[in-house]
Amino acid sequence: MTSGTVSRTVSGAQKLRGELRVPGDKSITHRALMFNALASGRSRVDGFLDAADTRSTIACLRALGAVIEEEPDGSVTVEGHGRSGMREPSDVLDCGNAGTTMRLLAGVVSGLKGLYVLTGDGSLRRRTMARIVQPLNALGARVNARAAGKFPPLVVEGSQIIGGQKLITDVASAQVKSALLLAGLAADGPTTVVQPAQTRDHTERLLTAMGADIEIQGNALTVTPPNRDLEAVDVSVPGDISTAAGWIIAATVHPDAELLLRGVGVNATRSGIIDVLRSMGADIEFSGEHIVGGEPVADLFVRSAVLHGVEIGSELIPRAIDELPLIALAGACADGETVICDAEELRVKESDRIATTSTVLRAFGAELEERRDGFRIVGGASLRPATVDSASDHRVAMLGAIAGLLVDGDTTVTGADAVSVSYPDFWSDLSRISGV
């Protein structure tokens, strides 16, 4: 079975050269738009990711009463009227393919007045929501979901969120943590969320910059509800390291490559891929490090290197979760064995990424064992061109295309339009750096 109708052919590249500025970070774009819509005042968000997922967030926020305008310079302005300015929408909120939109918005609306129905595309409607439904309800929210609380659509009846509680979550998920903190903002007392491992911290950073009181002690976060609305803040969104990851892997593995990636967000809760690749032998140089919108940013210069297999698991996994399919590709191109464990969360992404990554890499000739919580990859098999399907998953489509750049001959990616979820210009950037 193939997904979508658009196919793309990628030819193995003779060499990779050039300079790219990858699109804005998806996680930060969702948050900059959503939190400013909940705040009081006008803000400007520049460098934001303009892609299908973040368009879903914009549409939902407009339906909730926020005024969001696109400016001629490519930025957006958000006019928020505070929590009390949000209104019950007259229709369902369509989150498209975006898990972040659905889970974070569920946290926001659970403490508002009114009835909210959150739905999404076929992929999102197969993704588990029990992980937010149960803890939100433990806070006094009234959230229901299809299949006894498991799958979208979600139905949220706004209610008073009850403070003074400590919630221990059993999945290391920034979306779950963020949903609970956002609900906690509307509680009648402090809420503590304890996560099993550190996850991306963009929510804490931005809410704190907007005046929220969030105390962090290791993996425990306590939000004390403010007695006034969040303050609108301008945000410059850094480049998305998850998007840069494809080019970083391509330039590392390709034998004749030098790429400069400008303005990439290198927040330590996201940059696990750099640590993993360096431990495999990659040559990645940072320069021009600075802070943008409260987030660390750098230019990355990446050149060809010889990689060695590696074993990764535990706390590194949440810091590299969206990049693990590409790390598996690096493992297939390395000497020796690469083992990725503790990554069962990959099974509940836009596709079951343990299964879809295995299918794609095997089609290229990689030797790989699919495990419950990851992969064992025997590096060094000689890879050949393939025909692979995206399974309607943007990261799988890009995985197939990046692998295609690294082998001699023509690779076909079906369901190639899936990239529009996070990187609409992916195919033209691919042509630029491979000179075709």
Please report, as ranges, the residues that interact with ligand S3P according to CB under 6 A.
Answer: 27, 100, 173-175, 178, 200, 321-322, 345
Torsion angle of C-alpha atoms 379, 382, 387, 389, degrees rounded to 10: 10
Tell me if residue 78 falls in helix, strand or coil: strand
Query: Could you report how far apart the first and last alpha carbons of the chain are, in Å?
Result: 29
Task: State which residue, 40 or 199, has the beta carbon closest to ligand S3P.
Answer: 199
Query: Which residue in 53, 121, 322, 393 is the catalytic one?
Result: 322
For 249-310, the DSSP string reads HHHHHSSSEEEEEEEEE--TTTTHHHHHHHHHT-EEEEEEEEEETTEEEEEEEEE----B--
Nearest approach in angstroms of CB 321 to ligand S3P is: 5
Contact residues for 195 (Cβ-Cβ < 8 A; gap 6+): 169, 172, 173, 176, 177, 219, 221
Q: Which residue has the tokens 């990859």?
A: 377
> Of 91, 24, 84, 31, whose CA–CA distance to 58 is shortest?
31
Is the Cβ of residue 100 or residue 192 nearer to ligand S3P in the bound state? Answer: 100
Residue 254 or 319: the one with the smaller Cβ distance to ligand S3P is 319
Structure token pair of residue 369:
């064992």
Q: How far apart are CA 325 and CA 355, in angstroms?
A: 10
Q: How far is the CB of 68 from ligand S3P (least distance, A)?
A: 19
CB of 410 to ligand S3P, least distance (A): 30
User: Which residue lies nearer to ligand S3P by CB, 88 or 352?
Assistant: 352
CB of 146 to ligand S3P, least distance (A): 19
**Residue 322 annotated as catalytic:** yes
Min dist. Cβ of residue 9 to ligand S3P (A): 28
Q: Which residues are known catalytic residues?
A: 322
